[in-house]
A and B are shown apart, each in its own frame.
Chain A
Amino acid sequence: MAMAIIFKAVNYTYQPNTPFEQQALENISAEIPTGSYTALIGHTGSGKSTFLQHLNGLLRPTSGVIHVGKQIITPETKNKQLGELRKHVGIVFQFPEAQLFEETVIKDIAFAPKNFGKTEEEAETIARRMAQQVGLDDELLSKSPFELSGGQMRRVAIAGILAMEPEILVLDEPTAGLDPQGRLEIMEMFKRLKEEQNLTVVLVTHQMDDVAKYADNVIVLEKGKQIASGTPSEIFAQPNWLVEHHLALPKAGEFALEFEKKTGYKFATLPLTEVSLARQIASLLHGGGVHHG
C-alpha cells in the first residue's frame, strides 16, 4: 500500500482578506515516505497543527498540492472527495479523550468504523480487538467512558482511532499529561503497531528523547516554514544550529557533548539514545579506538 505523503509548495492562510489574516504555512514542500516514522517538531505557533490538519483534508491548502497516496488535495478539492481520504488517515489529537461521547466504551471505539461503512457487528468486532491492542480490560468495555480514569480514557480515544484501521497514523503529542508509566506504555504500543501493520506514523512532539528513540525521519517547522528535514542524526548533528532555533538535543546527546568537553574524547557520531551512548563509551573504554555505536 503506497501511502506516501507529499506536500508541494503548500501555503495556508487563516481568514484570508480580513484584518485577522494570518499565514500559517509558507511554501512547504515536504515528503513523508511510506512506512516511515516521521517526527514533526517546532515550537507553539510553528504551524504544526495546521500541517496536521492538511493530512486528512480538515484544511485544504490556500495554494499548492498535497498527495496522500493516490489522493490529491488542492484548494479546489470538494468535501465529498475527502471522505475516502479520512478513512486512511487516523489522527489522534492532543488530549483526545475530549472526543469521547458514547454511552459505553465499546460503542465509542466502534463509532468511526460505523461512520466509514462497517456494519454494527463488524465495527464491534474491530472495537474489541483494538481495546485489546491498547490494553483495556474487557470489563471496562460496557462502562461509560466518563467513569474511567484519565489514562484509561486516553486509551479508549486512541483505540477509537485505531479502529478506523488507518494506513497513516498521526499522533499529536499523544502522551501529554500522562504519568511516566503510561507514557512509556503508549509510545511502545505505537512502535509495536507500526512494525506489525507497516503503518506510516507522523508524531508531533516536544520530547527530543522520543524523536531520537522512535523516529527515522524528522521535519522541523518554524513560523510556518520548513527549516530542516532529515534523519534524527542529521537534524541533531549541529548543536549550534539547534541552539539558534531554540531546539533541545536528546538528553543522551547533551550528555555526550559534556563528556567530550570534559574528557577530550570524541565520539564517532553523536549518540542520541542512552543505548548508543553506553555502547560508544564501552568501545572507547575497551577498544580505545573509535567505533560506531
Chain B
Amino acid sequence: MDIVEIKNLTFKYPQQEVQNFNNFNLKIKKGEWLAIIGHNGSGKSTLVRLIDGLLAPESGEITVSGIKLTPESVWDVRSKIGMVFQNPDNQFVGANVEDDVAFGLENAAIPREEMLIRVRQALERVGMWEFADHEPVRLSGGQKQRVALAGIIALKPEIIILDEATSMLDPEGRQSVLEIIRELNQVEHLTVISITHDIDEASNAQRVVVLDDGKIVQDDIPAKIFSHGASLVKIGLEPPFSEKLKEELIKQEIKVPDEYLTKEGMVDWLWQLFSKQ
C-alpha cells in the first residue's frame, strides 16, 4: 500500500521564474524507509514541505495516508506526519524539555492527564526523561533532536520526515538519533522519509531516490546507488568507504567486483582473495 502518492505535481516559488517541480510523480510505500539525496538546491526540502502541506502546489495531487491534501484537510494530513528539521535550536518551542514535547499535544487538544502519560513515555523512549526540566541551552544538539523526536513520538504519527536532521550533529549525536529512527521504522513500522548527505543514514534505507533539479534521476535500492563510487559526491552523497577503497585498490592493479559491497562484504571478499593465493 502506498502511504504517500504524488501525481503530476507542479510547483514554483513565487519569487522564482523556473519551475521547481514539473509533472513530478512519486509513490512511497507504507513502512518503507526512503532516503532522498541530491546536492543542495535540488528540491529535496521543497518536496517534503509540499508533502506536509507547508507549501502549496500549483497543480497536481498529493495523497497522504488516504487523505487528499487540500487546504481543508491540511491539518489532518499534518497529524499523520512528524517532521524533524536541520537546526536543533530553531524547532525547540518549549521553555524546557517536557514543555517542548507537550507543545504538539497541546495543539492537538489532548487532555492534560493523557498528556502527562504521553510526554513521559515519549521522553523515556528517547532516553531524555531525566532531562525533563532542562532548558534547551543546557542540551547538546543531539539531545535537542531527540527531544524533537519525542515530540513526534508522543503524537503517534504514521510518517517521520527527517530534513537533514542529523547534519548539524556530532558523530555521537547522529548515532543516537539514527538508532531511535531505526527502532521506530523496524518495530513500529513507521514510514521514514529522510533527506541526507550522510552515507550511514542513507544505508538504513530500503530505497534511495536521487533528485536533481526537481526530477528523479535515479530510484533504486541503496546497493545499486552506492556502487557509483566517487561520482556519488556529485549527487550530494558521501561515497561509502568500501567504494573509496575499491578505487584505491584498482590503482594498485587489484581486480575488484563491480557490485556494491558493504564493509563486511568487502572484508569477506578480501579474505577469499587472500585464501586463493
Q: Nearest CB to that of B141 among chain A residues?
A: A44
A282 engages B254 (CB within 8 Å): yes
- CB < 8 Å: which of A181, A274, A277 contacts B234? A181
Question: CB-defined interface of A153-185 with B at 8 Å, one 1/0 digit per residue?
Answer: 000000000000000000000001101111110
A277 engages B172 (CB within 8 Å): no
B270 engages A281 (CB within 8 Å): yes
Query: Does A14 reach chain B (CB closer than 8 Å)?
Result: no
Cα(A144)–Cα(B141), bound, Å? 30
B277 engages A278 (CB within 8 Å): no
- Decide: A255 near B254, CB < 8 A? Known: A44-B140, A179-B236, A278-B245: no
Output the residue of B232, B252, B253, B263 with the most chain A CB within 10 A: B252
Q: How far is the CB of B58 from chain A (nearest CB, A)?
A: 24
Contact partners of B254 in chain A: CB under 8 A: 278, 281-282, 285
- Range of interface residues on B (Cβ < 8 Å): 35 or more
Query: Does B168 reach chain A (CB closer than 8 Å)?
Result: yes
Question: CB-defined interface of B182-202 with A at 8 Å, one 1/0 digit per residue?
Answer: 000000000000000100000
Contact partners of A230 in chain B: CB under 8 A: none
Cα(A180)–Cα(B201), bound, Å? 14
* Interface hit among A1-9, A124-132, A235-243, A244-252: A244-252
Q: Nearest CB to that of B251 among chain A residues?
A: A278
A180 engages B197 (CB within 8 Å): yes
Please report the total number of A residues contacting B with Cβ < 8 Å: 34
Question: CB-defined interface of B248-277 with A at 8 Å, one 1/0 digit per residue?
Answer: 110111100000000110111011011001
- CB < 8 Å: which of B140, B236, B241, B247 contacts A180? B236
Query: Does B52 reach chain A (CB closer than 8 Å)?
Result: no
Question: CB-defined interface of A216-254 with B at 8 Å, one 1/0 digit per residue?
Answer: 000000000000000000000000000000101001100
Q: How far is the CB of A285 from chain B (nearest CB, A)?
A: 7
Q: Nearest CB to that of B237 among chain A residues?
A: A180
A43 engages B197 (CB within 8 Å): no
Cα(A262)–Cα(B241), bound, Å? 18
If over half of B's interface residues share one DSSP class (helix, strand or loop), that class is named, otherwise mixed; here it is helix
Q: Nearest CB to that of B240 among chain A residues?
A: A251
A274 engages B241 (CB within 8 Å): yes
B252 engages A281 (CB within 8 Å): yes
- Decide: A149 near B41, CB < 8 A? Known: A44-B140, A179-B236: yes
Cα(A248)–Cα(B175), bound, Å? 12
B277 engages A181 (CB within 8 Å): no
- CB < 8 Å: which of B232, B236, B244, B268 contacts A274? B244
Cα(A277)–Cα(B270), bound, Å? 12
Query: Does A116 reach chain B (CB closer than 8 Å)?
Result: no
Query: Does B233 reach chain A (CB closer than 8 Å)?
Result: yes
- Decide: A281 near B249, CB < 8 A? Known: A176-B168, A206-B170, A255-B267: yes
Query: Does B134 reach chain A (CB closer than 8 Å)?
Result: no
- Decide: A285 near B245, CB < 8 A? Known: A181-B236, A278-B252: no
Query: Does B71 reach chain A (CB closer than 8 Å)?
Result: no
Sample of 7 more A-B contacts, CB < 8 Å, known A282-B254, A288-B277: A180-B197, A180-B236, A181-B39, A259-B267, A278-B252, A279-B252, A281-B249
Residue positions of B touching A, CB distance < 8 A: 39-41, 86, 140, 167-168, 170-172, 197, 232-234, 236-239, 241, 244-245, 247-249, 251-254, 263-264, 266-268, 270-271, 273-274, 277
3 shortest interchain CB distances as A-B pairs = A278-B248, A282-B252, A180-B238
Residue positions of A touching B, CB distance < 8 A: 43-44, 149-151, 176-177, 179-184, 206, 246, 248, 251-252, 255, 258-259, 262-263, 265, 274-275, 277-279, 281-282, 284-285, 288
